[in-house]
């Protein structure tokens, strides 16, 4: 799947900014205010969401401000839609 660089999310408390760029294999660079306790889980949710959308090659830069799993999924999905041009909600 062809990928352009795209982002979704904000830096508000409880949100996460996801930037997706072209890459070889899946690479996640995470900066989180709750990384000690939830860093592992956040990467897991990002990976699962991208895999569910059929994306296995991408470089993801995530800046997290304590987002819940549902928010992370929504932001990753939105960024992926923008990056691939493939509207998962319509198609």
Partner 1 sequence: MRNSKVVTLEEAIRRSGLKDGMTISFHHHFRGGDKVVNLVVDKLAQMGFKDLKLAASSLSDVHAPLIEHIKSGVITGISTSGLRGELASAISHGLMKEPVVFRSHGGRGSAIASGELHIDVAFLGASSCDELGNASGCPRSENAKSICGSLGYALPDAQYADHVVVLTDDLVAYPNVPMSIKASQVESVVVVESVGDSSKISSGAIRDSKNPRDILLAKQAAKVILASGYFKDGFSIQTGTGGASLAVVKYLRESMIEQGIKASFALGGITAHMVKLHEEGLIGKLIDVQSFDKVAAESIANDQNHQEVSSIDYASADHLGSAVHALDIVILSALEVDTDFNVNVLVGSDGIIRGAIGGHPDTAEDSALSIIVCPLLRGRIPCVVPKVTTLITPGKGVDVVVTEYGIAVNPSRPELAKALAEAGLHVVDIKALAAKASSIIGQPDPLPFGDRVVGVVMDRHGKQLDTIHIIQE
Residues in contact with partner 1, shown as a per-residue x/- string from 31 to 70 under the rule CB under 8 A: --xx-xxxxxx-----------------------xxxxx-
Q: What is the DSSP letter of 67?
A: -
The answer to whether 82 contacts partner 1 (rule: CB under 8 A) is no
Q: Which is nearer to partner 1, 33 or 56 (CB)?
A: 33
What's the min distance (Å) between Cβ of 19 and partner 1? 20
Could you tell me the two tokens for 34?
A: 């709750």
- Judged on CB neighbours under 10 Å (0-12, 13-18, 19+), 91 is exposed
Q: What is the DSSP letter of 40?
A: H
Q: Which residues bind partner 1 (CB under 8 A)?
A: 13-14, 33-34, 36-41, 65-69
């Amino acid at each position: 799947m062809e990928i352009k660089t795209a982002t979704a999310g904000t830096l508000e408390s409880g949100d996460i900014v996801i930037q997706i760029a072209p890459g070889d294999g899946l690479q996640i660079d995470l900066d989180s205010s709750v990384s000690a306790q939830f860093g592992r889980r956040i990467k897991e949710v990002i990976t699962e969401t991208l895999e569910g959308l059929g994306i296995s090659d991408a470089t993801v830069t995530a800046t997290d401000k304590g987002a819940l799993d549902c928010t992370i999924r929504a932001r990753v999905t939105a960024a992926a839609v923008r990056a691939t041009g493939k509207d998962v909600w319509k198609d």
